Amino acid sequence: MTTRLVRIQNLKKIYKKSSTLFQKLQGQSKFVNAVDDVTLDINKGEILGIVGESGSGKTTLGRTILRLEEPDSGLIFFDGSNFTDVSEHSEMKTFRRRMQMIFQDPFESINSRMKVSNIVAEPLEVHNIASHKREKRDMVMRALEDVKISPAEDFMDRYPHELSGGQRQRVALARTLVLKPDFIVADEPVSMLDVSVRTELLHLMLGLRKKYDLTYLFITHDLAVAKYICDRIGVMLLGKIVELGPALEVIHHPRHSYTKELRAAVPVIKRK
């Protein structure tokens, strides 16, 4: 029996855009519906992929679900509780601890002036977890070991510039995992990594899902990546989910014309 962890109903996020004089004279819209009336369920333990081209609204959807961007309308439910209008600081922190995000760029998402140990420990300090230094250090080292930064002891005092791109993204993942969240929004987490490193990180994320019963919303433009890691795929176009279903079914038997275009755009290497 599947258990629903996240549910969004009629979610909308609208941005006001700047207009040229010509656009104003033509009466063109001043607004962009980045997320346009999206209703979606994410089941506990699954990896739901959101695919689409740049500008389709994928990242905005993920950020709005976590309320890093405030929705203009609609409802967000997390583990049966209405997260939409939570405003009290203590209650918001409770949700924040259980809902985390991995950002696309490992060069920008972690502070270049902080040591690895401090980067991973920062969420523990924000949430007042592990007041004793030894306990905090053990939790940081455990998180680093979980993401295959090993031996963790050798990396604790390093700075981000001393790490490879893959190692930086693993540190970002460790910072997310240290709070033991239930739900993670992964926004293009492998798109800026070398191809050889991508598979390793995807395999790691699959292992962590099994180990900690994690649920992912996995945002990507790459259908090949989505096929490898996702249980279900939602195809997003102009702020709307235009197709949703099991990953292999969506990829091999697409119904929507846009999904067919995405599939056709995947490069195929042919041997001579």
At 172 the pLDDT is 94
Cα–Cα distance measured from residue 38 to residue 61, given in angstroms and rounded to the nearest whole number: 9
Q: Is residue 215 part of a domain?
A: yes
Q: Is residue 195 part of a domain?
A: yes
Whichever domain contains 9, its CATH number is 3.40.50.300
At 192 the pLDDT is 84
118: helix, strand or coil: helix
Question: Which band of pLDDT confidence, cut at 50, 70 and 90, is reported for residue 161?
Answer: very high
Q: Is residue 213 part of a domain?
A: yes
| pLDDT-wise least confident of 127-131, 134-138, 168-172, 216-220 | 127-131
Domain count, the chain: 1
Q: Is residue 174 part of a domain?
A: no
Encoded amino acid at 231, one letter: D
Q: Is residue 15 part of a domain?
A: yes
Expressed as residue numbers, the domain containing 59 is 4-105+182-264
How high is the mean pLDDT of the chain?
90
At 22 the pLDDT is 58
228: helix, strand or coil: helix
Cα–Cα distance measured from residue 94 to residue 91, given in angstroms and rounded to the nearest whole number: 5
- pLDDT tens-place string over residues 7-33: 999 999 999 876 655 555 555 657 888
Phi then psi for 113, rounded to 5 degrees?
A: -95, 0
Which residues fall within 8 angstroms of residue 188, CB to CB, at 6 or more apart? Answer: 59, 104, 219, 220, 221
151: cis peptide before it, omega within 30°? yes
Of residues 155 and 267, more confidently modeled:
155
Per the listing, tokens 């081209």 go with 53
Tokens standing for 240? 């709307």
Check: CB of residue 42 under 8 Å from CB of residue 48: yes
Residue 238 has pLDDT above 70, yes or no: yes
Q: Residue 130 CB: number of other CB atoms within 10 A?
A: 17
DSSP-assigned letters across all residues of 7-71: EEEEEEEEEE----HHHHHTT--SEEEEEEEEEEEEETT-EEEEE--TTSSHHHHHHHHTTSS--
Q: Is residue 135 part of a domain?
A: no
Average pLDDT (109-120) is 92
Q: Is residue 65 part of a domain?
A: yes
Cα–Cα distance measured from residue 125 to residue 136, given in angstroms and rounded to the nearest whole number: 9
Encoded amino acid at 23, one letter: Q
Among candidate residues 18, 24, 14, 61, the one with its CA nearest the CA of residue 235 = 61
247 membership: H or E segment, kind and range: helix 247-252
Half-sphere exposure of 226 (CA within 13 A, CB side): 30
Q: Is residue 175 part of a domain?
A: no
Check: CB of residue 200 under 8 Å from CB of residue 192: no
- pLDDT tens-place string over residues 65-102: 999 999 999 999 999 999 998 988 888 888 999 999 99
Q: pTM for the complete prediction?
A: 0.90
DSSP-assigned letters across all residues of 177-199: HTT--SEEEEESTTTTS-HHHHH
Residue 54 has pLDDT above 70, yes or no: yes
